[in-house]
Amino acid sequence: MIALTVLGSGTVAPTPERTSPAHWVEAGDARILFDCGAGTLHRAASFDVAWHTATHVALTHFHPDHWAELPAFLFALRWGIEPSRQDPLVLFGPVGLSARLASLAAAFGEWITEPEFPLEVVELEAGTAREIASDVVLETCKTPHTDESMAYAVRHAGRRLVYTGDTGESAKLAEWAADCDLMLCECSLPEERAVPLHLTPRQAGALARKGRARLLVLTHMYPVFGTTDPTSVAREEFAGEIVAATDGSRFTIEGP
Ligand SMILES: [Zn+2]
Ligand SMILES: [Zn+2]
């Protein structure tokens, strides 16, 4: 089984309902935090997610809404729980992560890169796959958004979850995402506000159709959607099940 809890279904634009991107995935012995935007820790507390037991953190790109809370996350592992963390943590991100962490260490302190638990920093190229726990494989794919931006997939027990991160339209991404059980897809802006480096509901629906997803979960929604329902537009492109995530949404993909 793969389980997903959406901690933050929003963007950098603040609303009471949606905090910045953060998605908690449990698969086998792995507990992975995908992106770590503002609000991650407090939403995790609200939704009873054991954030401090994360085995891995995986960052899609370096826009601040996707990782600005990482220093607080590391700080909280020392001062926000009792007893403080001892277990190792693996931090995945695009190439350039180590240099950025060094800059953060200069700003906040050496504990960023040398906390009191083993911290492994792994820069991932797009187009790779690696086993991160028994029968848990983490895959990456380049997305058209920033120079370094990547999508991730988790494979476990014959199931596959894809998280697009931020992306524009991409045939390559659709091909890579093929036959995923759950596509957690960015859906930034409605059709009339479309931009090249993000997706609209229609484009998200088309990506899910081309990727033959079984369940499409929309996330990363700007407040401009208001109370309108993006799933109704996405449904014009995708016949499978579609859910617009809210902070606290939970999904499980049962094994075969
Ligand atoms: Zn971005
Ligand atoms: Zn974003």
The answer to whether 40 and 20 have CB atoms below 8 angstroms apart is yes
User: Is 253 a domain residue?
Assistant: no
Distance 243 CA to ligand 2 centre (A): 19
Distance 130 CA to ligand 2 centre (A): 25
User: Is 24 a domain residue?
Assistant: yes
User: What is the side-by-side order of every strand in the sheet holding 30-34?
Assistant: 119-124, 89-94, 56-58, 30-34, 22-27, 2-8, 250-253
What's the pTM?
Answer: 0.98
User: Is 216 a domain residue?
Assistant: yes
Distance 220 CA to ligand 2 centre (A): 7
Locus of tokens 């088309």: 206
- C-alpha distances (whole Å) from 56 to each of 59, 214, 224, 243, 245 are 10, 26, 32, 26, 22
Distance 141 CA to ligand 1 centre (A): 15
Domain of 52, in residue numbers: 2-247
DSSP string, 20-34: S-EEEEEETTEEEEE
User: Is 226 a domain residue?
Assistant: yes
Q: Which of 55, 7, 9, 6 is nearest to 187 (CA)?
A: 9
For the CA of 147, the nearest ligand = 1
Distance 21 CA to ligand 2 centre (A): 7
User: Is 224 a domain residue?
Assistant: yes
Distance 63 CA to ligand 1 centre (A): 5
Query: How many domains does the chain divide into?
Result: 1
For the CA of 35, the nearest ligand = 2
Digitized pLDDT (tens) for each residue of the chain, 256 residues in all? 999 999 999 999 999 999 999 999 999 999 999 999 999 999 999 999 999 999 999 999 999 999 999 999 999 999 999 999 999 999 999 999 999 999 999 999 999 999 999 999 999 999 999 999 999 999 999 999 999 999 999 999 999 999 999 999 999 999 999 989 999 999 999 999 999 999 999 999 999 999 999 999 999 999 999 989 999 999 999 999 999 999 999 999 998 7
For the CA of 186, the nearest ligand = 2
User: Is 44 a domain residue?
Assistant: yes
Distance 187 CA to ligand 2 centre (A): 10
- What are the beta bridge partners of residue 216? 183, 242
For the CA of 222, the nearest ligand = 2
Compute how many other C-beta atoms are within 10 angstroms of the C-beta atom of residue 148. 19
| Strands in 106-240 per DSSP E | 119-124, 129-133, 136-142, 150-156, 159-163, 182-186, 215-219
Locus of tokens 């401009």: 224
User: Is 66 a domain residue?
Assistant: yes
Structure tokens at 248: 């606290």
Distance 116 CA to ligand 2 centre (A): 31
Helix extents (H) in the chain: 40-46, 64-67, 70-79, 97-108, 171-176, 201-210, 230-234
Distance 34 CA to ligand 2 centre (A): 12
Distance 17 CA to ligand 2 centre (A): 16
Q: What's the CATH number where 223 sits? A: 3.60.15.10
- C-alpha distances (whole Å) from 68 to each of 1, 7, 22 are 30, 15, 11
Distance 198 CA to ligand 2 centre (A): 9
User: Is 255 a domain residue?
Assistant: no
- Each residue's pLDDT tens digit, 170-189: 999 999 999 899 999 999 99
C-alpha angle 217-223-227 in degrees, rounded to nearest 5: 75
